[in-house]
Chains A and B, each alone.
Chain A
Amino acid sequence: MRYAIAFVVSWLLAVANVSAFSYIKVLGVTPDFVLIFAACWAVVRGEPEALFVVPVAGLARDLTTSDPLGTSMLAFVPIVLLAAVARQQVIDSDFPPAIAVVAAGTLAFGIIQSLVLALTGESVAVWEVFLRVIVPGIVVNALFTPIVYLPVRWSNPRFSGLRGSRGLASPYS
């Protein structure tokens, strides 16, 4: 059931990303809510769920954009690995690791997407893309993380008793 919900939510976010959210331009880029959702889910829910939800979120994103099918699936792979590292619980909260995974995941996504686009014959101006798309994307996605992180955290049964903590406390404390 939770996987079905994750798929539906990521698909709806992907649809919203190409329609309603495409008008939100901060620093010249649109926040990627699918990537943020995948990263937050991976950090909050853990590796077993991330192994399924992250590629499926990538697939949902690919089906709604003009990228070749499989691009986002590949480009989201580092999110699972980054989340596994972030869940080592060095910090006593999931929120900073979620922001770190979103930021690092955006960087990895931008690089892998550029590689795929270049390999499929699109022209990619490396520095332009890095300075005008990837770097602003890291900042903007990190800024929008709380909007997605809090619902993902509240929907997790592991945290259901911690709502009074406004969602930023660790279940381990």
Chain B
Amino acid sequence: MRLIWWLATVLAVGLFSIFLSEHHATDPAHNLSLTISAPIEDVMYDAVHPINNIYESIADHGDLVRENEDLKAQVEALKAQLAQQQNNDSRIQALEDALGIKQTRPDDKLLAANVLAQDPSGQKRMVAIDRGTGDGVTDGMVILSRSGSLIGTVDKAYSDYAWVRLITDPDSAVNAQVETSAAQPGSSNDVLTGPSATPVAGSPTPSPTPAAGLHTTTSVRGVADGDLRQGLILDLLPPDAVIAKGTLVVTSGLGGNFPPGILIGNVKDIQARPQAAFKTAVLEPASQLSSLETVLVLVSFKPANLASP
């Protein structure tokens, strides 16, 4: 009998707490708990992080040599791309000047935050940061890495702390686009979109067919979804889009929840089935999301708070 009463009480208290939590009534309790635990978490993190680095180094040693060779090859390729990019930049600058458009956002206001905790649940990919509503952080704000690539968004902001939903979380969806240079038709170089690439419901922006011997920038839009198995996937790509491995993926800005042009990651693998309505690419996030220490909150960008794509 005692067990039945206990069961009824715990179920009632648990369900009522969940209800209150969903209406943000328990936020002060969460904030207080994080306030008390933050110094301990900091000490524990500092104590374990070097050990974790050593462990990871040992575990990854076999891959390091191969990775080093791959990186050298990538550096060479990037140098070539950089040279071309510089040329493109000057052209873009000239066009922007001509149109009076300012694409970059020099007035961005960033707030540095330390990562305190990582959600241990395997079902979510979230981290806690030591900034909250008292610092101007609100739900939905965009979180960047120190190098400026996309980390995620603020999911729950308390007064002094906030939980950040990483882009690899199964509930995360970011409108993205793949930018690359399409080579002339028939060339063996990497080509981004086929000549018949058709936009999905107003998403991809097909470029004019490149003239022979010319390189042109094209973009294909999709949605970067978090995935428990593969980490990050780029979904809803046109089935005839041809995307090279290593191609950079950036935010498209559609929906108003993310500013355009923020680096998300690069294409690691492409999955396409002959009859599939859409093509999918597996992405490698630009940041090492499993060992974040400091992140930046983009406080100057106000998300549109539209429903996720």
7 additional contacts, CB 8 Å, given A18-B128, A20-B48, A137-B122?
A15-B41, A18-B118, A19-B40, A19-B42, A66-B124, A117-B124, A125-B170
Does any Cβ of A come within 8 Å of B75's Cβ?
Answer: no
Does any Cβ of A come within 8 Å of B95's Cβ?
Answer: no
Q: Contact: A129 with B228, CB < 8 Å? A: yes
Q: Contact: B228 with A20, CB < 8 Å? A: no
Q: Which residues of A contact B117 (CB under 8 A)?
A: 18-19, 22, 64
Q: Contact: B14 with A73, CB < 8 Å? A: yes
Select one of A51, A74, A113, A128 contacting B121, CB under 8 A: A113
Of B4-12, B205-213, B267-275, the segment with at least 4 beta carbons within 8 Å of chain A is: B4-12
Select one of B45, B123, B227 contacting A114, CB under 8 A: B123
Q: Contact: B17 with A73, CB < 8 Å? A: yes
Interface residue tally on B, bucketed by range: 35 or more
User: With A and B bound together, what is the CA distance between A156 and B37 in angstroms?
Assistant: 27
Q: Contact: B11 with A74, CB < 8 Å? A: yes
Chain B residues touching A, majority SS: helix
Residue in B closest to A25 when the chains form the complex, CB atoms? B290
Q: Contact: A70 with B14, CB < 8 Å? A: yes
Interface residue tally on A, bucketed by range: 35 or more
Q: Contact: B41 with A19, CB < 8 Å? A: yes
Select one of B7, B10, B17, B49 contacting A69, CB under 8 A: B17
Q: Contact: B11 with A15, CB < 8 Å? A: no
Q: Which residues of A contact B118 (CB under 8 A)?
A: 18-19, 22-23
Of B21-29, B103-111, B188-196, B296-304, the segment with at least 4 beta carbons within 8 Å of chain A is: B21-29
Beyond A22-B120, A51-B6, A125-B170, whether A71 also contacts B163 by CB under 8 A is no
8 tightest Cβ-Cβ pairs between the two chains A and B: A70-B17, A133-B122, A18-B117, A68-B21, A74-B14, A63-B33, A22-B118, A20-B44
Q: Contact: B156 with A66, CB < 8 Å? A: yes
Q: Contact: A128 with B18, CB < 8 Å? A: no
CB-CB contacts of B24-58 with A at 8 A, as 1s and 0s? 00100110011001001110110111001000000
User: With A and B bound together, what is the CA distance between A16 and B57 in angstroms?
Assistant: 23
Residue in B closest to A136 when the chains form the complex, CB atoms? B122
Q: Which residues of B contact A136 (CB under 8 A)?
A: 122
